[in-house]
Amino acid sequence: MRIAYQGEPGAFSEAAARRVAPDAQLVACKTFEEVFASVESGPAGYGIIPIENSIGGSIHRNYDLLMTNHVPIVGEVELPVVHHLLALPGASLERLRRVYSHPQALAQCERFLRTLSSVEIVATYDTAGSAKLVADERLEDAAAIASARAGEIFGLTPLASSIQDFSDNITRFLIIGRRPFKDSVPDKTSIVFSLPNEPGALFKALSAFALRGIDLTKLESRPIPGRPWEYLFYADLAAARDELPCARALAHLAEFAPTLRTLGSYASWKARESRLPDPFEVVS
């Protein structure tokens, strides 16, 4: 199995991919767009993208990419995230002048960063990529916020450990793929829809699920490009698409939603967690 992820070796996306299949061949990509392209056209059969963090919130770019691409969601993974402040051996907090990391990681460590005086905070495309930058350029007055594995890979040592604002820092990743996992029993469905701009439209949409006892575990709105102040709504449903109540709710919603698309129906993380550390099986 080949799994595409965004970032350098040592990125949290790489760790999430290992939770999917420890023996998988991993394909590192510079951008999230490349992850989708790698799955849609090859060489990867699956891709993994972060979608939500328990501290930093949603990764909006990936919601947009789910809409503009047509690779379905086939699973999800939750990963505990522990951040470390990594620097070259011999560096010290007193001499620190810059800290590099992904914007999400910086947001997750905001309290710690406020304790650093006269330090420039620099946003980058990747946590592990930030560690690579510090190591490759031998930046003695800089540090990166990244994983312990990134420090091991790039020869950096921690100036501080577990610096995230909350100990229960968890990122939820979506698995996208051209084919489903074998023996995976869906119990969750992700959809995206639009609504007419009229009073009670969102209430009417949500009632299609509430009246049938279907729990919405996530609701996210995103602007529609080129149509100011109009929105798409992304929702996660705690039900399989083919279950009769869910199927009827979606049919009800389709009666008045100008746009409705199922992004995937798949096994939730809770349904998969009990199988770890066994790798996911895929359809041959």
Residues taking part in catalysis: 171, 173
Report the SS3 class of residue 123: strand
Report CA 268 to chain centroid distance, whole Å.
14
Radius of gyration of the chain (CA): 20
CA 28 from centre of chain: 15
219-258 burial code (b ≥16 CB/10 A, e <16): ebebeeeeeeeeebbbbbbbbbbebeebeebbebbeeebe
Q: Strands, DSSP E only, in the chain?
A: 2-6, 25-29, 46-53, 57-58, 73-80, 84-87, 98-101, 120-123, 142-146, 157-161, 170-177, 188-194, 216-223, 231-237, 260-266
| Residue 17: CB atoms within 10 Å | 29
* Residue count (the chain): 284
